[in-house]
Structure 1
């Protein structure tokens, strides 16, 4: 029988097997001869199973490979030959190195196909794999967020639907034209409030109160009240519509928002009620200190500026470089201030009274500011100053380049992820159009679903025709018979 094939039947010459059996594998047109003593080191891998399955018949053979030539004893696999060349190294070197230019996710899928454990992947390659996984998770999160905005859950009550609409209106300007107008209006209120704060300090625009003290013009106060009213309304709407109010309250940007609003109301309460509880002078000092807190409003611009957000995230990722910069400067400041004090203390007109006082001179010298309020007068002191600002330039220049690279890398990454998310949605739309039998311009099925609980709507999230498969809240594994190139 054809299924009762044996080792001797598979041999072209019918001779007995030698201790070291060889097989020929053809992966994507690339032939390679492998030996049993190498493959049997890892018996759980696909190639080792293939070596040991020959006496079992064709059914078992074809369950492990795509095709088989009994005359040549050659096994055919429709897989990526470049990835196979890297994976087969595990039988010779005990580890796998990923070739440059191969998609890490596709390489991981290839290792799973050949049943080679990921623990054999070298640490340097695991880093690339983890980075790629994070990118795909970010893309999946963005696509999921967009689809959540497009879908409407019929099981939600009216208040939940209204809450979601308000949240989308306040937090996502790209969702609609009115939301975009509201975001621009909020941006103008922030600029107006900042300009009013600056203009109110000009003496020519101030007026005298009943006690003869200069205060801000009443018109500027009315503009300030209007801006505070807008900020308050905006914050309350966002707080009410927030799906997670604790996370909303503890968010950094929302803390800035509340810091820009509260000083106005606290100063208002102190002005009208605080005079009865404490001296008027103390009340005025407290109000003045709170009015300075208005400068926090300028940070609200980061909510409407992707560039400022990118700068913030880049600085977070550059803590190590910033720490090195501060360490270099701290060491230099301590050394050169001590040398400056020692060299200048015997001069009759010395400006270096103590080492702590010399810290200020070392700071402005190493940062090349040079106010000139403190300067050396001896020859050795001037030489020390020259060396200090040269070392300062070098200390500042060394970590700057990695910080700039972090900013550029993160900025480019965000643009790529945004483009990838849009590309993924377009592919899902094409997929939906093909399934409906219509043209790609037809309305996608995930837009016409009434409820997100629809299993067919969920299937749109699980599978897409992108080059790299992205999981959406599913543990299902999808295998492809042909490896697509990852671009």
Structure 2
């Protein structure tokens, strides 16, 4: 460790060269000697500014550090020493790497304190920081949604309050007991409608109409009408109460709802009015085609199933792996269909008439389905078939593991974000300044689960002091010490 005699004095005229200066810094109890020759490589940083601060008096010194010992000539900083060890690498190596276990957001705050630009952070660490930012933004969004649901603005008129109440009732099952009942009823209607659609195709349950054609049983028809009535009422209420009508209409799941409802009414119109404008046979064919579209209602289950939603999002994040899978299969299909067609041409009873026709054989072989409608008859053709389905098994198996990992990672991430949002709300309640300090977890769950309204709830929950501090929920600036940093 350097002694006092090694710390040179700097006069008002700046006679001592900055390159020859040594400074002693104490960051969180860890002392380190730094040299001006290294620090001057980045003069805009806080450590480089310490070189010239002695000539500016104590006001300049204390604007850069937390404390200063003139006897030891030592600068004190109440910051994270682990992060500081990473940050000083910039003066020696020109780049910074985060150590494992350091919170990326806290490390970013440390870099801002030491006035080091984020461009010096290595690319791999920038990726980690971006992921953490996205997680905090998602947590902030979830917390804000919960806060919006907890309180009603007294300045809103009766229609706005009623609209918000209906929206929570139809879209947020966790907001109240009534909303959960409606969600369960909607789920049951979807199941009943799907079962009725399947039962209606059983010949034993059908009846003959006046013209001798098989039609659905009237009881099943009445159940179907009741289900469509519920779906229609549900869609209309959600549309009326939606805060953003345009976004609601173009949303994918709402388009599915329309396709589940529309065929019933179009079939009804064609049945009663279409016969006057076209032949009855054409009307029946159009009605039958529209009734097939009822299968779209099964996708409504995704609205009430977190597992289906997670699967959808995981597949979206696995588009690269799915693309690789399709590319492997496409190459294999082209190669083995061409080989199969060539090898089977010598047989007089060949089933391989052309290479495009052989694509079907290659698809069902590589996917190990093997319908048997097309099969090789020569020895070389059989050898080619054996090679094709072995390659197909390998091609399908290779990208499966990354896809499963994406699903598990996304599912676990959603659970962590949900828990973090609840934890954030509990801390916001604990540290709120108006009457809610010391509130229990049960009180918060009662407010969240039972849909109780608290006029000042959204005004009380302003500041969070959790490890994953969310700046997006408040316009105020908050400063953290080393002891508050996330390790």
Say whether the fold is shared (TM-score over 0.5). Answer: yes
TM-score by length of 2: 0.93
Measure the CA separation in 2 of the matches of 1:188 and 1:65.
65
Distance (whole Å) between structure 2 residues aligned to residue 10 and residue 44 of structure 1: 20
Unaligned stretches of 5+ residues in structure 1? 1-6
- Which secondary structure does the structure 2 equivalent of 1:472 belong to? helix
Secondary structure of residue in 2 paired with 1:68: strand
Contact 2:18–2:36, Cα closer than 8 Å, also in 1? no
> Could you tell me how far apart the structure 2 residues matched to 1:331 and 1:431 are?
61
- How many angstroms apart in 2 are the aligned matches of 1:402 and 1:140? 29
Structure 2: how far apart are the matches of 1:382 and 1:438?
77
Mapping 1:33-432, distance limit 5 Å: 33-432=33-432
- Cα RMSD after superposing both structures: 2.2
Distance 1:347-1:448 versus aligned 2 partners, 3 A rule: closer
Aligned-pair CA distance for 1:475 = 4.8
Cα distance in structure 1, aligned partners of 2:475 and 2:429: 23
Instruction: Assess if the C-alpha contact under 8 Å between 1:10 and 1:71 holds in 2.
Output: no
Residue 461 (structure 2) aligns with: 460
Contact 1:136–1:470 (CA<8 Å) still a contact in 2? yes
Task: Say which SS state the counterpart of residue 372 (structure 2) adopts.
Answer: coil
8 A contact 1:10–1:73 mirrored in 2: no
Deviation of the 1:477 alpha carbon: 3.0
Q: Secondary structure at the match of 1:64?
A: coil
Between 1:438-447 and 1:423-432, the stretch displaced more is 438-447
Alpha-carbon distance in 2 for matches of 1:201, 1:39: 81
* TM-score where L is the length of structure 1: 0.93
Whole-angstrom CA distance in 2 between matches of 1:438 and 1:386:
71
- Alignment gaps of 5+ in structure 2: 1-6
Residue 465 of structure 1 aligns to a residue whose secondary structure is: coil
Cα distance in structure 2, aligned partners of 1:239 and 1:360: 45
Deviation at 1:135, TM superposition (A): 0.5
Query: Residues 18, 274 of structure 1: CA spacing in aligned structure 2 closer, same or farther, 3 A cutoff?
Result: closer
Count matched residues: 472
- Other-structure match for 1:21: 21
Match of 2:3 in 1: none
**For residues 436 and 54 of structure 2, what CA distance do their matches in structure 1 show?**
45
Q: Using a 3 Å threshold, how does the CA distance of structure 1 residues 247 and 18 change in structure 2: closer, same or farther?
A: closer
How much does 1:207 deviate?
Answer: 0.6
**Alpha-carbon distance change, 192 to 437 in structure 1, aligned in 2, over 3 angstroms:** closer
Distance in 1 separating the partners of 2:209 and 2:304: 38
Partner of 1:450: 455
Contact 2:170/2:238 (CA < 8 Å) preserved in 1? yes
Kindly provide the CA deviation profile for residues 55-110 of structure 1, in whole angstroms up to 9, marking residues without a partner as x.
11222212211222223222111111111011111111111111111111000000
What residue number does 1:4 align with? none
1:356-402 Cα deviation digits (max 9, x unpaired): 11111100100011111111111100110011011111111111111
* Deviation per residue, 1:397-455 (Å, 9 max, x gap): 111111111111110110000000000011111112x6548533397899886368xxx
Provide the secondary structure at the position in 2 that maps to 1:292.
helix
